[in-house]
Structure 1
């Protein structure tokens, strides 16, 4: 007899459903996600001028929540956000996080000071709203750790290190602050042994899963357009890392998401 039970529920905690890669296909993409057990998605706005479009996607699709901020790679070319701007956006019932923000010195090191200014603004918005900060970190581990730690000591806030692929030192600094690490398809790449070791050494109650779609598709879809349904492939790698049954790992990451993204969990409970 075939097992017709639905797959364990998981959440794609970070994707970009407003990107042109998905234009005109959102209904099918969200349906495929749900068929794979991906019952919730957080779509991330990376330029605040696009917030109305991202908000409309969340409003039109029950499983979709959203967050907004200025991506560090865009910080020098976008108007500087204000704390009040971000706090005002947070009034929307499906707005559940601040960002993504952070530091990226891989391609945009020349705008480091602007990125730091933008990051501090986003941190203050997270502190004021109680919503989790969503951090992008690339080739900037020391500065990220310094700023996140200093601002946390000033006023605590919650945070996820999205698509974590940095050093063990930055992972430990983030975990020591009570932050979360999110596994993307990078963690499923065959050569990502060191990154998998970092995740395996982290507490299971601080792990999230994501796609960062349309980027970074995990095997067996590597090199193709990523989409929320593929969260399940990364989650299966996570289950192996923690020596858990897939359903157990899925349940743990769901509980982690609910604990961090409390507004999404409360909205879903009230629906």
Structure 2
């Protein structure tokens, strides 16, 4: 992780939330500027219902994923809502299902419901033959258990976004074939264990992201995070 910006490369931001309300006033302009500075971006739709009110921008450098974040787990159990994900896939709008998973930190949705929604969406991804983007916060053991069962019967790619687990369990995820993505918080002064996790991750399994508008890297910490800032994390 560099202290300054790396301007000689054109990376991909593997995870950003550009349909967050924090981008409502300048979304189109920001995306246009971003595509001149990065090779590409992956935009996450953590609540696919957003598509009803916020039309997507299509461009060869943009990929979309959609899935019900743990906060919206109850919607994933609703068959009508799940059909929306199927439609997005059938229309080739999305390239993966996610972010989906478990959040035992802030999320007030009961754990059993989160787990049920997680498994339902994993099975959907299997049926659609799509990769999955995983959110796991303070839930690594249960995330690993569920993914282990999933990976036995599925050969699609698994990406753990914004890895925040401990270094002890990381090899287990790598052994499952998971890709591991790190965000701007890896640049924070106290993130020593997280930086050790980066060193432990095989280069062919390593991705970077911003998780915009959150987790701006240390040199721009406190600002609204944007995809361009992924260069600080390299």
- The two structures have a TM-score, normalised by structure 1, of 0.77
Once residues 228 and 163 of structure 2 are traced to their aligned partners in structure 1, the CA distance between those partners, rounded to angstroms, is 19
Partner of residue 23, structure 1: 24
Change beyond 3 A, Cα 1:167–1:53: farther
2:3 paired residue number = none
2:67 aligned partner: 69
After TM superposition, give the deviation of residue 208 of structure 1 in Å.
0.8
Q: Is the Cα contact below 8 Å between 1:69 and 1:100 reproduced in 2?
A: yes
1:148 aligns with 147
1:29 touches 1:228 (CA, 8 Å); kept in 2? Answer: no
> SS state of the match for residue 220, structure 1?
helix
Which ranges of structure 1 fall in alignment gaps of 5 or more residues?
A: 1-5, 236-271
Alignment of 1:158-169 (within 5 A): 158-169=157-168
Q: In the alignment, does 2:77 pair up with 1:80?
A: yes
- Tell me: CA distance 1:89–1:169, structure 2 relative to 1, closer, same or farther (3 Å): farther
Shift of 1:212: 0.6
Q: Aligned partners of 2:125 and 2:76: how far apart in 1?
A: 19
1:179-198 matched pairs, under 5 angstroms: 179-198=178-197
Question: 2:126: which partner in 1?
Answer: 127
* C-alpha distance after superposition, 1:182-225 (max 9, x if no partner): 01001111211100101111100001111110000002111110
Q: Which residue of 2 is the match for residue 13 of structure 1?
A: 14
Give the Cα separation in 2 of the matches to 1:225 and 1:47. Answer: 21
Residue by residue over 1:122-163, the C-alpha shift from the partner in whole angstroms, topping out at 9 and shown as x without a partner, is: 111221222210000001111111000012113333110001
CA RMSD of aligned residues (A): 2.0
Q: Cα offset for 1:9?
A: 2.1
With the length of structure 2 as denominator, give the TM-score of the two structures.
0.88
Preserved CA contact (<8 Å) 1:165 1:186: no
Conserved 8 A contact 1:29-1:229: no
2: CA distance between counterparts of 1:34 and 1:89?
23
Q: Report what 1:172 is aligned to.
A: 171
Report Cα offsets for 1:56-110 as digits up to 9, x if no partner.
3232x4432211111002214x362546543332123341110110000012265
What 5-or-longer segments of structure 2 have no aligned partner?
Answer: 1-6
